[in-house]
Chain A
Amino acid sequence: MANGSPPEDRTNVSREDVGDVKHRKRLSTLTEDEVAALREAYRKAQEVSDSRGYGHFAALHGFPDPGYCEHRNQLFLPWHRGYLYFFEQALQDQVPGVTLPWWDWPGSDGIPAAFAVEQDPSGEPNPLYDAPVVAAGGFRGPDWPERTARPAERTPTWLPSRGLPSQDDIDEVLNAANYDDLTFAIENLHNAVHVWIGGEMGDQRFAGWDPVFWAHHTMVDRLWAIWQVSNPGHIPRREHLGKGLGYFKDMTVQDTLNVTDLGYDYAAGEVLVHG
């Protein structure tokens, strides 16, 4: 057996080569190299000021026209799945193969380390820590904050655990008997985490700019994906299936129902085994 150089698989590069579905991985299991790739993708995206850049996507969450996120209705989960899909591709335009990691709330005792430190290991500003609050084309509203910020103080959450969602909270959500119950329950849990973080994350208008927003929502999307596996056939109401997702009008609700059709799946972990 030949011992060659370790394969260069910073994230999903080898999968991309063979057209395989990419894995969204548990944030806490990413290797240093994978976190570095994620930082690089965020940094480069934040430097792009047009519609390929970070600010463009961040603004779609809170801007009324033509985007606006969907909340408190059956489109909450499909809209955000589409939102993550396009944002992830924008990151992949910067660093091929990079995928959005999911923040495992029960396994975490605070903001994930990769997103909590102000500087990366080389001493440079960490693009996962904060971001400039600016939309595509350099647009900024008169009352917008300069950059995202999170209060240093963490107050107890509103959940029974008074902390991040526990596995019991998640199990309760995943016990939902139908899609309507599921989306209500997931969104409520998701709301609690937004407000627990606070700062821009606690404000629907600006939440999309906080870098940890994407790891949070990837966890939300993962819960829906897990629930779908054990509840086949339970989908949003039929009247919604042909609807386009706001700004992403060519992606319909129906298009969001299968994650592998969208080119990704969720993995709890992965170890590269070298020969």
Chain B
Amino acid sequence: MATFDSESFPAQPLLDDYARADVELHGVDLAVPSYEGRVFLNRPDADRDTPLDRDGGYLGSFFIFGKVNCWGDDDAHCTPASGRKFDRRRNPTRYAKVRVRTPEGLLRQLVEQAGGDVSLNVVAVIPDREDYARYSPEDVLSFSRASIVTYG
């Protein structure tokens, strides 16, 4: 997918005890072309041209240095059983967690600005350049779970 738009959720409870806020994406697929993931709060209309403006809901970006595809005969190669004793073969790190640390105070500002439930939005952007012409942002963004984690 090129974009992810969460369902609306109540974020107000996150503000009760909050000094730091991270957006976490789990199970992010790395066997894809490299891309930037731009993370917004409450901007389901966001696309690659949306300004990276804090007041406009931009929380930050993560950058995926992708491996394009799995080297193996099929995808099972990249999801092997892990931790077998004496097995020197590395577990290919196909899936990973990414984290975007948001600027201090921004979550509070945006949630209060919204005044109600909000959504989390991620826009995948690939370089607008010849060497990426064979790739599509539709093919890059894949993860299993998203959350916002706050620390007091």
Of the candidates B34, B98, B130, which one forms a contact with A151 in the assembled complex, judged by CB atoms under 8 Å apart?
B130
From B36, B67, B125, name the one whose CB has the most chain A CB atoms within 10 angstroms.
Answer: B67
Given A66-B90, A70-B93, A181-B101: A191 touches B129 (CB 8 Å cut-off): no
Residues of B within 8 A of A191 (CB): 34, 63-65
Nearest CB on B from A196, distance (A): 8
- Number of A interface residues at 8 Å Cβ cutoff, please give it: 35
Q: Does B56 contact A (CB under 8 A)?
A: no
Complex interface: stretch among A26-34, A80-88, A101-109, A200-208: A200-208
Residues of B within 8 A of A195 (CB): 34-36, 63, 65, 127
From B77, B99, B125, B131, name the one whose CB has the most chain A CB atoms within 10 angstroms.
Answer: B131
Of the candidates A70, A72, A153, A199, which one forms a contact with B98 in the assembled complex, judged by CB atoms under 8 Å apart?
A72
CA distance A73 to B31 in the complex (A): 15
Residue of A nearest to B35 (CB): A195
Residue of B nearest to A188 (CB): B63
Nearest CB on A from B122, distance (A): 14
B66 touches A158 (CB 8 A): no
The SS class assigned to the A binding surface is loop
Nearest CB on B from A79, distance (A): 10
CA distance A185 to B93 in the complex (A): 18
Residues of A within 8 A of B125 (CB): 158
Residue of B nearest to A176 (CB): B101
Q: Does A112 contact B (CB under 8 A)?
A: no
Query: 0/1 per residue, B3-32, Cβ < 8 Å to A?
Result: 000000000000000000000000010100
Residues of A within 8 A of B77 (CB): 64
A64 touches B88 (CB 8 A): no
CA distance A180 to B49 in the complex (A): 32
B97 touches A72 (CB 8 A): yes
B96 touches A68 (CB 8 A): no
A202 touches B93 (CB 8 A): no
Residues of B within 8 A of A73 (CB): 93, 96
Chain B positions 28-85 with a Cβ under 8 Å from a chain A Cβ: 28, 30, 33-36, 52, 61-68, 71-72, 77-78
The interface of chain A, by Cβ under 8 A from chain B, is 62-68, 70-73, 151, 153, 155, 158, 160, 181, 184-185, 188, 190-192, 194-195, 198-199, 202-205, 207, 246-247, 249
What are 8 A-B pairs with beta-carbon distances under 8 A? A62-B71, A64-B89, A153-B129, A158-B61, A188-B63, A191-B34, A191-B65, A194-B34
